């Protein structure tokens, strides 16, 4: 009545379908467990409100420090013997480093590098430190623009 080959083929197809179904549901359960563990870890790593307040305070203080460096250090770094550098420093003091053109920023950085070398030669460590801090501001603004961390409503520059 039934051919043995046909019966075995039908049984084989049935076992294959059952195996495929069971393996896919097991993978789904493993994926669900893995996703749940990942979400649990992410929830544990989130900032608490007091952490956000502390980070905001640090951000405000750092912004205040760097805004002082950006606004006050150009005046400190001006010398009568470097008219081109002095002009760029004056422009940076008035308009802010981020408002300088890319060419002006490059010229200012080159001039500061030369002045830094000169300060090291004359062992003027205070001037070398001031140049280093101002160069850091210039390089950061050139590479990143002005970004605020935590999307805070106020930044340190509002305090100056």
pTM value is 0.54
DSSP label at residue 48: P
Give the model's pLDDT for residue 9. Answer: 83
pLDDT digits (tens, 9 = 90+) for 90-111: 888 887 777 888 888 889 889 8
CA distance 43 to 92: 44
Mean pLDDT (the chain, rounded): 78
Residue bearing the bigger pLDDT, 114 or 52: 114
The CA distance from 64 to 27, in Å, is: 53
The token pair at 8 is 């075995």
Q: Which single residue is written with the structure tokens 């140049």?
A: 131
Among candidate residues 159, 156, 149, 160, the one with its CA nearest the CA of residue 62 = 156
- Token reading at 157: 């520059």
Q: Is the model's pLDDT at 2 over the cut of 70?
A: no
Angular region, 28: left φ>0, alpha ψ -120 to 50, beta rest: alpha
Mean pLDDT of 117-129: 88
Average pLDDT estimate for 77-95: 82
Q: What is the pLDDT of residue 1?
A: 58
For residue 53, what pLDDT is reported? 86
């Amino acid at each position: 009545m039934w051919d043995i080959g046909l019966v075995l083929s039908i049984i084989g197809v049935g076992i294959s379908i059952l195996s495929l179904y069971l393996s896919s549901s097991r993978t789904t359960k493993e994926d669900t467990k893995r996703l749940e563990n990942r979400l649990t870890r992410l929830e544990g790593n989130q900032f608490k409100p007091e952490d956000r307040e502390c980070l905001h305070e640090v951000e405000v203080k750092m912004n205040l420090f760097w805004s002082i460096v950006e606004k006050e250090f150009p005046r400190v770094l001006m010398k009568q013997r470097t008219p081109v550098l002095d002009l760029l420093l004056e422009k940076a003091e008035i308009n802010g480093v981020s408002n300088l053109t890319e060419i002006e920023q490059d010229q200012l950085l080159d001039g500061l590098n030369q002045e830094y070398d000169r300060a090291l030669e004359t062992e003027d460590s205070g001037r070398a430190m001031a140049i280093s801090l101002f160069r850091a501001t210039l390089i950061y603004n050139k590479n990143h623009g002005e970004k605020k961390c935590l999307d805070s409503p106020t930044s340190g520059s509002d305090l100056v």
